[in-house]
Structure 1
């Protein structure tokens, strides 16, 4: 299937979406007066919480940590928190930071995760966006070389920055994760503290003790599986984060 695409500047993708950020972008977002949301998920060495086909990609973008009596692989996403309109949109729906907009904004509507194919029906872009413009996908393959390079840059940043994100979370007292596929642990840290943590952690040597994490699960059945693997499961109610369940009701 071939796909064409041309952005029509509707601004819909700039509203109601949490945009993943690189570390530099997250620091800039905080400096610009924006809010960053921290989304955390993890899986266990036996693969609990992860489809087999996704393991290599997931492991490369995760930090190996401890949880109780076992290891865990935790993935941490710093994202621009946009429950409504992005604060960088002006009254004409134009991006006021267009020349330095985040990498993911440049990549949209393509996906970063290689296991998620482009689904036009799931995108906010109006029909006319897909009716004209340059070829995006030909024969099921992305043919826009510049876009392909941006996607690889984003994936590379994910892999290279996970260790420092783990240390930033430790500095902020963030140590509860969800199980991948079961949900996300979502934090809205104070931006002054967040920016300071980034700056301070970047000055430290990379070596440190392995961090300790605990799991927040959607139900007792999942909790029993995780505890059977030796991982630590939180029992008290969330106080400094929200649990976003991905479990079907």
Structure 2
């Protein structure tokens, strides 16, 4: 029997899909025959990504959207649902940033990580409920499940996202919508956070890299593989889970 992810003809919305893990996820979905709509804050980055995704006949569109702009963000999600006719897959990659621990950072991380997820879900659920394969994937981090550097808003609110995802799965399951979370470990891609750490603080990068049993950070493509599987009909009986994709970086025993 031939294995298939069942992505052909599916309609996917990726919040934060113009670069890094989001971009790799969009490429896999388009390659599998899905129609994809992406957004990010920078219009030029979105335009470049859409052009690349469409270059070989892929069906992709995009817009510059800030998830902290409630009205604009929700309107974009709704416009995607109307333009594509439905939404089968919602993947939310939008994320706050780590490092800072002041009150402004708490607020910024809350608005992006938590409200970015909640607003997107609320806007998309009416469309996902009409799908025969409705699926939501949210993006957390291994910083949420194990001590990582220091107490900070990024870690705490990524942990809150896992709880939100699990409980959301129980609530929308009766509408035929699955909800899962992916928690990557430190992931390297050109221009990403760990690329900047490597350039600005190579000793920190090397310390983190030495924590991987395989001796290297993960790639955007390796994380995207897991995201797309969970989002796809191939994972039709998987919901309410948090999938850690970290190459063994975290040392806790997972039950």
More strand by share: 1
TM over 0.5, yes or no? no
Whose radius of gyration is greater, 1 or 2?
1
More helix by share: 2
TM-score by length of 2: 0.26
